[in-house]
């Protein structure tokens, strides 16, 4: 089959890109032709592979001129108009695009990015005549581009993350985004979602489209390289070093309990290292009363460097979401590495619970647990499992449905049925 994969990657969806890349690699191995349409400024890792047979990339704007990272950063200046004006004047090309897009949005044309991306899809399809176009979300613009485009191909929406039902959508935007999501359901021949999201569809505004839907796991259980040539961070080996890596958000992944727990563990030689690029200075200030000298913030790291750090850690720490329809994919990276995992969960139906119960070196700790009691449980776990690692073969046997090979099998079965429609 001939595929076009659409994904408008930004700094918040790097893990989704890895999901897509691992799936694409499996499709290629099986002789399928895959054409990936990505904006160029986001895919340094993929650009190095673009000459591989069957995989090409189409770039539809110049990253130096039109950067989503820049537009995203404008939100930081919403209460500082003088600084925003100075910034726009100093970067005229950014300023022009910013003013054009805001004018179009004011006129009701809210999604100019999708129209640009549609032209890119049309150019790609003229060259390869795709059998199936796959729109990846999030970001949502890729899926909407697939929906508004026309062609003789079949359309599959691969919804890696929930959109309007993600728990962080603003109330004044919710109805509009639900309508947009319903439009994509209507235009798609098939919709692939996570198993958790599939269950939620039954009680959501999208129930009428349930027959179009299939569920599929993340293809993220795979052998992970254990070291770079040089480690980006050197742990103090006098301590038991625990690592949390990932986003900390106010609405669905608040860190207060985790910080209180490690505060209680500060009397032991235990350190918690947090790599989270999303934690702003204002948030740190709010959390200051919970911090102790055994907690260190390190900002963010490039993915391969982060994997190297995780491999050097003694214990990996996962923080569950407050929404049951979202699974923290970072947990599958942790499991692939094979280190002991402390999983702190917020809700009784947290999707991480069953996964950690299957994992031989894992423990679940509820945020309802008294801090002193939890600290004793965690300390016993750390003492028993620190320094241990599970061989990948054992991990694979426990989590085969999350491997790229198994996920690709399921994806191709779905595509075969869609093609025959």
Across the beta sheet with 240-245, what order do the strands follow? 295-297, 270-275, 240-245, 315-319, 341-345, 362-366
pTM of full prediction above 0.95: no
Residues 41 and 164 in one domain: yes
Residues 166 and 275 in one domain: no
Residues 295 and 327 in one domain: yes
59 vs 224, residue with greater confidence: 224
Residue 257 in tokens? 């309990």
| β-strand pairing of 154-159 with 132-137 | parallel
Residue 376 lies in a domain: yes
**Per-residue pLDDT tens digits for 270-321:** 999 998 865 555 566 666 566 778 888 887 788 888 888 999 999 999 998 8
Q: Where are the beta strands (DSSP E) in 246-323?
A: 270-275, 295-297, 315-319
What rounded mean pLDDT belongs to the chain? 80
C-alpha 28/C-alpha 55 separation (Å) is 8
**Per-residue pLDDT tens digits for 172-226:** 778 888 888 999 999 999 999 999 889 889 889 999 999 999 999 999 999 986 5
Q: What is the DSSP annotation of 137-183?
A: ESSHHHHHHHHH---SSEEEEEESS-STTSS---HHHHHHHHHHHHH
Taking 50 as the threshold, does the pLDDT of residue 67 lie above it?
no
Residue 81 DSSP one-character state: H
Residue 166 in tokens? 């993600």
Residues 182 and 308 in one domain: no
C-alpha 301/C-alpha 11 separation (Å) is 12
Taking 50 as the threshold, does the pLDDT of residue 258 lie above it?
yes
* Model confidence band, residue 323 (pLDDT cutoffs 50, 70, 90): confident
Q: What is the pLDDT of residue 398?
A: 94
Residues 413 and 382 in one domain: no
**Per-residue pLDDT tens digits for 13-49:** 677 888 888 998 899 889 898 887 765 433 333 333 4
Q: What is the pLDDT of residue 222?
A: 94
407 vs 330, residue with greater confidence: 407
Q: Say how many domains are in the chain.
A: 2
409 vs 79, residue with greater confidence: 409
Residues 254 and 211 in one domain: no
Q: Which of 48-57, 171-180, 397-406 has the lowest mean pLDDT?
A: 48-57
Q: Which residue has the tokens 């491999």?
A: 311
Range of the domain at 267: 240-400
Residue 17 in tokens? 């890109």
Cis geometry, peptide bond prior to residue 138 (ω within 30 degrees of 0): yes
Taking 50 as the threshold, does the pLDDT of residue 380 lie above it?
yes
For the chain, the 3-state helix, strand and coil shares in percent, each to the nearest 5, are 45, 15, 40
Chain-centroid distance of CA 131 in Å reads: 27
Name the CA radius of gyration of the chain, rounded: 22
Q: What is the pLDDT of residue 401?
A: 95
Is-contact 350 322, C-beta < 8 A?
no
Residue 229 lies in a domain: no
| β-strand pairing of 2-6 with 33-37 | parallel
Residue 375 lies in a domain: yes
Taking 60 as the threshold, does the pLDDT of residue 127 lie above it?
yes
Residues 186 and 333 in one domain: no
CATH number of the domain that 372 lies in? 3.40.50.2000
Percent of the chain with pLDDT over 70: 74
Across the beta sheet with 33-37, what order do the strands follow? 33-37, 2-6, 132-137, 154-159, 190-193, 213-215
Of 379, 144, 155, nearest to 267 (Cα)?
379
Q: Which long-range contacts (CB under 8 A, 24 or more apart) does 380-386 make?
A: 381/340, 381/342, 382/240, 382/242, 382/270, 382/314, 382/315, 382/340, 382/342, 385/315, 385/340, 385/361, 386/240, 386/314, 386/315, 386/340
Residues 69 and 213 in one domain: yes
107 vs 333, residue with greater confidence: 333
């Amino acid at each position: 089959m001939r595929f076009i994969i659409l994904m408008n990657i930004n700094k918040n969806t790097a893990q989704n890109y890895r999901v897509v890349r691992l799936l694409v690699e499996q499709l290629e191995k099986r002789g399928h032709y895959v054409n990936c349409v990505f904006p160029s400024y986001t895919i340094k890792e993929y650009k190095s592979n673009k000459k591989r047979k069957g995989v090409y990339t189409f770039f539809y704007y110049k990253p130096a001129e039109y950067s989503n990272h820049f537009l995203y950063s404008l939100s930081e200046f919403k209460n500082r108009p003088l600084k925003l004006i100075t910034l726009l004047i100093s970067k005229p090309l950014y300023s022009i695009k910013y003013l054009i897009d805001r004018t179009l949005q004011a006129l009701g044309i809210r999604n100019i990015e999708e129209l640009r991306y549609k032209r890119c899809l049309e150019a790609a399809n003229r060259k390869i005549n795709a059998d199936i176009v796959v729109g990846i979300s999030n970001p949502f613009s890729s899926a909407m581009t697939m929906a508004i485009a026309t062609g003789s191909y079949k359309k599959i929406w691969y919804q890696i993350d929930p959109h309007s039902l993600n728990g962080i959508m603003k109330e004044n935007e919710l109805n509009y985004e639900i309508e947009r999501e319903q439009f994509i359901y209507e235009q798609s021949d098939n919709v692939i979602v996570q198993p958790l999201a599939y269950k939620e569809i039954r009680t959501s505004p999208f129930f009428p489209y349930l027959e179009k839907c299939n569920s599929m796991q993340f293809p993220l259980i795979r052998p992970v390289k254990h070291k770079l040539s040089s480690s980006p961070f050197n742990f103090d080996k006098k301590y038991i070093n625990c690592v949390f890596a990932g986003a900390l958000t106010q609405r669905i992944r608040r860190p207060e309990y985790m910080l209180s727990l490690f505060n209680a563990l500060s009397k032991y030689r235990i350190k918690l290292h947090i790599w989270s690029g999303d934690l702003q200075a204002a948030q740190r200030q709010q959390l200051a009363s919970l911090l102790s000298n055994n907690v260190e913030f390190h900002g963010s790291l490039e993915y391969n460097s982060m994997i190297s750090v995780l491999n050097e850690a003694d214990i990996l720490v996962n923080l569950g979401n407050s929404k049951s329809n979202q699974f923290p994919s970072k947990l599958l990276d942790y499991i692939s590495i094979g280190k002991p995992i402390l999983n702190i969960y917020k809700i009784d139906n947290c999707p991480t619970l069953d996964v950690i119960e299957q994992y031989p070196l894992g423990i679940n700790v509820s945020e309802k647990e008294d801090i002193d009691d939890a600290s004793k449980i965690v300390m016993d776990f750390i003492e028993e499992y620190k320094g241990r690692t599970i061989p990948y073969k054992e991990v694979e046997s426990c989590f085969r449905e999350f491997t790229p090979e198994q996920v690709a099998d399921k994806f191709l079965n779905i595509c075969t049925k869609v093609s025959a429609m």
